Amino acid sequence: MNNKKVLLVVMDGVGITEEHVGNAVYNANTPNLDRFMKEYPCKLIKAHGTAVGLSTDEDMGNSEVGHNALGCGQIYSQGAKLVDESIRNGEIYNSRVFNEMVNNVKENNSTFHFIGLLSDGNVHSNIEHLLSILKKVRELDVKKVRCHILLDGRDVPPTSALTYVDELENLLSSLRDDEHDYRIASGGGRMKITMDRYKANWNMVKDGYDIHVLGKGRGFSSAREAIETYRNEIPNVIDQDLPGFVIVENNEPVGKIVDNDSVLLFNFRGDRSIELSMALTEENFEGFDREYFPNVYYAGMLQYDSEAGIPPKFLVEPPKISNTLTEELIKYNINELAVSETQKFGHVTYFWNGNRQDKFDENLETYIEIPSDNISFDKAPAMKAREITDKVIEEMKTNKYQFVRLNFPNGDMVGHTGNYEATVESLEVVDECLGRLEAASKELDYVMLLMADHGNSEVMYTEKDGVRTPKTSHTCNPVPFVVLDNSYKLKEGNFGLSNVAASVLKIYGIEKPVMWNDSIIE
C-alpha cells in the first residue's frame, strides 16, 4: 500500500447522451466538467439494468442500487429483481409472513391493506407486484382489501397517474363480488405524503399516516375524481405533488386501518419506506403524534433496514451485501469521510456500506450531514452544494482522511421536479464546486475521481412539433468516470459502477478481493 489519498465525487443524476434537446447537462454552462472529460482519463460506464443488479437492461438505474454497486465492487440482485423472482417461483406465497397475514384477516374477519407507490418505474415499486399479490389473496378467499396508493410522476411520466389507477381499478373490479370487497381507500403524491426519507420531514409522513390510517383528509368518491379535481385546481401540478385524498362513501372513509388488520407496504426500496414502517410498528414511536396506533399485522415487501430490524416482518429477503470497499479500507487503517446533505446522506453512508446503518469502525469512519431545506428543490436549485464543498475542503485540510466521498444531489433532486431551467442552474452550481474541489485536491495531494450514480438531468424533456413533454424520471444512459490525474490510464472494455471500488484500491496499490469486479484503471 502507498500513501495516496482519494477524493471520490458523485454527481447524482448526471448521465451522458448525444441528444441535446432537453439535456440540462449538455446545455448548462459547465466549463469544469467539460474540461475534465476532455483533458483527463475519462470513460462512460453503465449505471442501470443488469450492471447494478436489476432485472433487465430496460430498468433505469437509481441512487440506491448505484451507491450499493459503487460501495461494494460487486453486482447483487436488487429489490425489483428479488421480488420478481420470488413471485415467479412462488416463494413469496409460501413464506410464513405472507400466510400469517392472510390467516390474520380471515380469522378476524378484518381487512388486508396494501400501501405503496403505484408505478412501473421499478425504482421503489412495481405495480405488477401489487396486481399479482391481489390476485393471490383473492384466490385465497380474502374477503376485504383496501389499497392506499402513492402517485409517482417521478420515475414515470409526470402526469401518468390515471394509467396506473385505471389498471388497478380494472383488476379490483374483476375481483369484486357480493362476498369480496376490493377497493382503493386513499392516496396522494409521493412528495406530499408518506414517502419521506432520512427523517427529513416527519410532517410528510404524518400527513400520510392520517390519510391512510385515520381516514383524515379531503374526501372523494374515487381516486380518478381526486386526481382530476386537483389537476383542475392546481395549475401544472404533476403527480408526485398531488395532495392527499381519502375515498369516502356516505361521508365516511371506506378504508381506515384498525386493530387486527393486515398491512403490507409493497415498495421494495428501503429509504422511503422506513419512516412509515416505524410509525406502524413501534410502540415508543417519537416521529409524531399518531392519535391512534392500531394493533395490526404489518410487513414490508423487504426489510428496509436490516441493522435496525425495520420492519420486523417482511416477505422477501433483501440482498446480503458483504466485502464492501469500506471493510477493505479498514483492513489497511484508512480513515474515511462521507459527506452529503440530508437528501443523499444515506446514500454515501447506509447504501454505500451495503445497507448497513451502523459504521464498521467508529474510529475510522466519519459521517457529516448538511441539513437539506424542506422546500421544492427547483426553488433553490443550488441546494447545499456549496456548503458540502466548504465542509469537504475544510476537512481535507486537516490531513486526517485518506479517503473522502461526497454526493451532490442536485442533478437528481432538481431534475425530478421537471423544471429544466432550475436543473440547468443547479448543474452550473455543481460545476463551480467541482472546480474548487479540483484545486483543493491538487493543493492537498488527493487523487480526485468524478462520476455519477445514474442518469436523470440529461433528459429533462422531449420535444416534438415545438411541444415539450417533461421527463422527470431516471434514464438508462451511461455516466462519466473521470480520474483527475493524467498519470493514470484507463482500460479498454465495458465497465459499470461496480468497477469503481477496485479502481479506488488500484490507486492505493491494494489488490482487490477476488469476488470484486475489475478496476477501470490500468
| Each residue's pLDDT tens digit, 367-382 | 999 999 989 999 999 9
**pLDDT (0 to 100) of residue 520:** 98
**pLDDT (0 to 100) of residue 317:** 85
Segments in the chain below pLDDT 50: none
Between helix 420-444 and helix 31-39 the angle, nearest 10°, is: 60
Q: Report the distance separating Cα 500 and Cα 520, nearest Å.
A: 7
Q: Report the distance separating Cα 196 and Cα 122, nearest Å.
A: 18
Q: How many CB atoms lie within 10 A of CB 461?
A: 17
Yes or no: say if 502 and 512 are a contact pair by the CB < 8 Å rule.
yes
Can you give the pTM of this predicted structure?
Answer: 0.80
Class of domain 6-77+321-508: alpha beta
What are the Cα distances from residue 476, in Å, to 14, 60, 232, 426? 11, 5, 33, 21
**pLDDT (0 to 100) of residue 495:** 98
Q: Report the distance separating Cα 506 and Cα 518, nearest Å.
A: 10
Give me 202's grid cell.
416527519
Query: What are 189-232's pLDDT values in tens digits?
Result: 999 999 998 898 999 999 999 999 999 999 999 999 999 999 99
**pLDDT (0 to 100) of residue 267:** 97
Residue spans of the domains in the chain: they are 6-77+321-508, 80-316
**pLDDT (0 to 100) of residue 104:** 98
Strand stretches in 194-296, DSSP E: 219-220, 245-249, 252-253, 262-265
Q: Do domains 6-77+321-508 and 80-316 have the same CATH topology?
A: no
**pLDDT (0 to 100) of residue 325:** 98
CA angle centred on 170, ends 164 and 175, rounded to 5°: 130
According to CATH, what is the number of the domain 80-316? 3.40.1450.10
**pLDDT (0 to 100) of residue 56:** 86
3-class SS of residue 381: coil
> Catalytic pick from 63, 262, 441, 503?
63
Told to judge if 426 belongs to the known catalytic residues of this protein, a careful annotator would answer: no
